[in-house]
Homo-oligomer: A and B are copies of this chain.
Amino acid sequence: MTSALEQLKETLGEVDDLQRTAAVLFWDQETYMPPGGLAGRASQVELLSRLAHERFTDARVDELLEQAARETADQPASSDDASLVRVSRRLYDREVKLPIELVAEMARAESEAQPVWAEAREKSDWKIFEPRMRITTDLAKRAAEAYGYTDRPLQALLEGTEPGVTLDQVEAIFSGLRETIVPLVKHIAEHHDAVDDSVLDRHYDEQRQISYSLDVVQRLGFDLQRGRQDLTRHPFCTSFGRDDVRITTRVKRDIRDSCLFSSIHEAGHGMYEQGVGANLNRTPMAEGASSGVHESQSRLWENLVGRSRPFWRHFFPSFQKAFPHVLADVDAEHIYRAVNSVQPSYIRVDSDEVTYNLHIMLRTELEIDLLEGRLQVEDVPEAWNQKLEHYLGLAAPPAANGCLQDIHWTFPTLGGFVGYTMGNVLSAQIMESVRGDLPDLDDQIEAGEFSNLLGWLRTNLHEHGAKFTPNELVERVTGSPLTVDAWVRYVRGKYGELYGLD
């Protein structure tokens, strides 16, 4: 007779197949689908999501989870089987709490909100988007109620993207960062002449940017036998299983929103997905541990590797060879400095490593205030601009470059920005642990040797997939809880030297 565990695995495998298939539909929609395909695609995606939800929340899964828990009671908590039961139970208990009508309402709200947001941003008019933002906030509140929480609604939503992470933890991180960044940004501003980044604005052949980027991510360790790169308007990474991971990038004439860094960022996500243990295949653990942990990998490769001096010492000769006329008069150090220039700016996705987290704090604080009733939807633009002035010293922008810039508020939930800052902070903390084990990491990078770094990440982090919660994983990987200390050391050291601060 088949054990409950085996039956559970079979059902979860099917749920996984359905979700991965929905991911293929999404990838195709963003990369190659002709415009006519949109209507049919929406109905296909909706059906697959519904089938996956129905299959996963079936009462039979509850029974199987219970029986499988008994069958695996003697196994250590970190074993694959015990983890499968634990992780699936957590996801099951959460997913059954959302009434199916609310799930449908949320899906509908999202697709309805996006064209309204696009129009509002086009016309730079918050009033157009305001009714949709009320719906977003209302749905987020209702979802939080359905999931349940003690005193703070965002806590219930955060549990979905960062299981086990508390809002107190997040706010402690924010306040630690605020203390460092706000004065650091001012200090850098006084020395802004130290870095000349005008080389980024030259004209780089687009096709060559794309092929060069693909070459770089391959050399970092993104496996093209088990993945590929395509072009999209907004770069992303998606996985159809560890052996088929798709990243996308975008390209412009200049390299300010660089194709190269987009590719490295997404390849960071991609190498994480490619590194998930084959033993976790077709289970809910066959993915990254959380949005924040995922972002730690993309940021580690993009910033701590890709924007490092040894990286440019290694890659500059080939980069110069790819663009010989454009780069005839510059050297590795010049590019290294240019890609690390710090400048408060309006747009989150274009912002540098130092100011980026301020953009996240600003948004998350507004979301908390909305959910806890201290802020009304109509007052969002004003609150946005106040914080912008306070954190970044910038005057109020048109709404298109302010509170209408991100697509995230068309999603029928809130709290989605937190992972970006968790990722930034965690990337530095992980990198300190890596350096403990690989003291000559900089020499390796300068020699174009990335396999020890990737190997370290694989063994310590990637292989576990979503077996552990973010906090458990941080403890396992770094030996201490998540704090801002490593990140603060990293930015103070790097930017202090770059800008000649004392």
Contacts and interface: CB of A to CB of B under 8 A. Distances in A.
A21 B34 contact: no
A55 to B, nearest CB: 10
Contacts of A44: 17, 20-21, 24, 240
Interface stretch (A109-117, A139-147, A221-229): A221-229
A14 B47 contact: yes
A24 B281 CA distance: 22
A48 B21 contact: yes
A241 interface: yes
B40 A241 contact: yes
A33 interface: yes
B43 A225 contact: no
A18 interface: yes
Contact of A43 (B34, B43, B48, B282): B282
B241 A32 contact: no
Interface in A20-41: 20-21, 24-25, 28, 32-37, 39-41
Given A34-B228, A36-B226, A41 B282 contact: no
A78 to B, nearest CB: 25
A37 B240 contact: yes
Task: Tell me the number of copies of this protein.
Answer: 2
Nearest to A47: B17
Contacts of A21: 21, 25, 44, 47-48
B36 A225 contact: yes
Contacts of A13: 43
Given A14-B47, A17-B44, A36 B282 contact: no
Interface string A215-244: 000000001111110100000000011011
A240 B20 CA distance: 18
Interface string A332-349: 000000000000000000
By secondary structure, the A interface counts as helix
A9 to B, nearest CB: 13
A87 interface: no
A47 B24 CA distance: 15
A54 to B, nearest CB: 11
B241 A34 contact: no
Contact of A17 (B14, B17, B43, B240): B43
B40 A240 contact: yes
A275 B289 CA distance: 47
Contacts of A20: 40, 44
A228 B32 contact: yes
A243 B37 contact: yes
A296 to B, nearest CB: 24
A51 interface: yes
Contacts of A240: 37, 40-41, 44
Given A36-B225, A37-B226, A43-B282, 15 more contacts: A13-B43, A18-B47, A20-B44, A21-B21, A21-B47, A24-B24, A32-B32, A32-B228, A34-B227, A34-B244, A36-B227, A36-B243, A37-B244, A39-B241, A40-B243
Q: Which 6 A-B pairs have the closest CB atoms?
A: A37-B244, A36-B226, A36-B243, A40-B241, A17-B47, A17-B44
27 contacts: A14-B47, A17-B43, A17-B48, A20-B40, A21-B44, A21-B47, A24-B25, A28-B28, A32-B32, A32-B228, A32-B230, A33-B244, A34-B225, A34-B227, A34-B243, A34-B244, A35-B226, A36-B225, A36-B226, A37-B226, A37-B243, A37-B244, A39-B241, A39-B243, A40-B240, A40-B282, A41-B244
